[in-house]
Amino acid sequence: MGATTRVEQANYGTWIRVGRLRAFGVASTLSGVGACLTFVSAWFALLLVPAALFGYIAIVLALTIWRLGPRGGDYRRRIHELIVAKASPERAGDGLDVGCGSGGLAVVLANAAPDGMTIGIDSWGKDWQYSREQCEHNARVEGVAGSTRFLRQSAASLEFDDASFDTVVSCLTFHEVRDVTDRTLAIGEALRVLRPGGRYAFVDLFADRGVFQSVERVREAIARAGAEVDEISRLDAHLNLPFPLNGAKVLGHAMLVVVTRRCGPGRPAGSHHS
Ligand SMILES: C[S@@+](CC[C@H](N)C(=O)[O-])C[C@H]1O[C@@H](n2cnc3c(N)ncnc32)[C@H](O)[C@@H]1O
């Protein structure tokens, strides 16, 4: 009998908080069980309403996790590849992924710009099941450990000098940044560390007025940082998002923004840095 070799696998996790799926699954099951008690009182039948509602949400969350993963179309990786393609890192140089999570986007960027150093930063808070060790593991498995580094930092105040990177990318980070009242300030911060002529490509829920108020505010933040918008488009203009990824509560409000830094380095107006 031949010995079996264990091949190390990358582990990127998912953008959906698994605890949320579990909570809705449990709530639906408990309501469903409660609804069976109609032999005690007909009023228990009312529990069918929350059972159906929580069950629907749990199904949407589970389908989303499946769609984002390799067996359901690998949309997480496809979105990362789109961002990196738009950032054109073939110009080489150093890259930064703001809010790198489990390192997926940083790995794609590092593969596209092998001569430079790619740095991924994240706050790795309790909200997410991502970690620095997970990023390092994934980079090692994907063969880019030597050209990547992962650091704990906040997107709201990056610990890099002005104009440190040739390429900056990020994916679904800014709507999560809670250490600034105006999330567009974090966009200015990402642009601060971009070299003149460098490109920044990012995806976030910019069409969601509850999060960013308006796409115009995003444009203003970019202009304040001395950069120029090359493209702002809906994510579904690039990727045919299937259900449930196309829903408003999933990626229906996601937009791709591509920016080139025109002028020299300097802190954006309104930045909280001293
Ligand atoms: C939806 S996840 C996306 C992760 C990763 N960009 C990806 O595409 O797989 C949002 C990420 O933003 C990170 N994040 C939230 N607030 C942050 C902050 N202030 N600074 C840096 N990262 C932050 C979270 O830790 C999490 O990893």
The string of pLDDT tens digits covering residues 133-158 is: 999 999 999 999 999 999 999 999 99
How many Å lie between the centroid of ligand 1 and the Cα of residue 124?
A: 7
- Angstrom distance (rounded) from CA 256 to CA 65: 21
In a domain, 2, yes or no: no
Q: Is 99 in the pocket of ligand 1 (CB under 6 A)?
A: yes
Burial per residue of 196-225, b for 16 or more beta-carbon CB atoms within 10 angstroms, e otherwise: eebbbbbbbbbbbeeebeeeeebbebbebb
Cβ–ligand 1 distance for 13 under 6 Å, the answer no
For ligand 1, is residue 174 a contact (CB within 6 Å)? no
Q: Is position 157 within any domain?
A: yes
Check residue 270 and give its pLDDT.
Answer: 40
Indicate if ligand 1 lies below 6 Å from the C-beta of 44: no
SS3 call for 255: strand
Given a contact cutoff of 8 angstroms between Cβ atoms, the answer to whether 218 and 208 are in contact is no
Indicate the residue type of 249: K
Q: Which domain holds residue 32?
A: 18-68
Task: Say yes or no: 36 and 88 in one domain.
Answer: no
Assign residue 117 the CATH number of its domain: 3.40.50.150
Statement to judge: residues 141 and 240 lie in one domain: yes
CB-ligand 1 contact for 207 (6 Å cutoff) = no
272 domain-assigned: no
Domain tally for the chain?
A: 2
Q: Are residues 59 and 98 in the same domain?
A: no
Do 55 and 137 belong together in one domain?
no
Same domain, 243 and 142: yes
Mutate to test the pocket of ligand 1, among 83, 97, 122 (most ligand atoms within 8 A of CB): 122
* List of E strands, the chain: 95-98, 118-122, 148-152, 165-171, 194-204, 227-234, 255-261
Q: What is the pLDDT of residues 195-251, one digit of tens each?
A: 999 999 999 999 998 888 889 999 999 999 999 999 999 999 999 999 999 999 999
Tokens of 141: 């498995």
Q: Is residue 46 located within the same domain as residue 159?
A: no
In a domain, 137, yes or no: yes
